[in-house]
């Protein structure tokens, strides 16, 4: 289990994805974007909109089973992106870098970007927005749901 949890709201994710797009403005133009499924799908859509890029491809990589990390396996390659020349690869988070290193094996010439980066994975991307500690588990909005929490006075705290 992670030592710390960081909850990202939809609003925060949108702001951070736009910040990523802003940082990428000088790196392009990009012929297309490759979204790393599943976590990179929504950030890639936001970045594609902000960069006015209409060619969006995906790569499916299985790495996690709940919170247990395994070896990354590409289950759907990004065939339309060739070797990655002129393409931007977008993911939500780089943790150890294993997922993006697997993708780089099929798209060696792409530019790699993510919203959040942990120290162990920072070398796997050229562009990111926010660094978080290695022992932090990010709770993305698609993994959570808002629910009622009783006031502290009612909980006997």
DSSP string, 14-44: HHHHHHHHHHHTTT---SEEEEEETTTHHHH
Sheet holding 32-37, edge to edge: 68-76, 56-65, 32-37, 87-94, 111-117, 127-131
Show the CA angle centred on residue 143, arms to residues 140 and 144, nearest 5°: 95
Active site residues: 91-92, 95
């Amino acid at each position: 289990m992670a030592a710390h949890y960081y909850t990202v709201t939809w609003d925060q994710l949108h702001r951070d994805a736009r910040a990523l797009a802003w940082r990428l403005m000088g790196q392009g133009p990009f012929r297309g974007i490759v979204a790393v499924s599943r976590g990179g799908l929504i950030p890639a859509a936001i970045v594609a909109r902000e960069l006015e890029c209409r060619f969006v491809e995906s790569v499916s990589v299985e790495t996690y089973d709940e919170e247990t990390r395994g070896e990354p396996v590409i289950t759907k390659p990004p065939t339309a992106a060739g070797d990655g020349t002129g393409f931007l690869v977008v993911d939500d988070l780089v943790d150890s870098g294993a997922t993006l290193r697997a993708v780089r094996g099929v798209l060696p010439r792409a530019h790699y970007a993510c919203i959040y980066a942990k120290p162990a994975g920072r070398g796997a991307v050229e562009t990111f927005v926010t660094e978080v500690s290695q022992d932090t588990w990010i709770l993305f909005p698609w993994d959570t749901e808002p629910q009622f929490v009783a006031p502290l006075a009612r909980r006997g705290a």
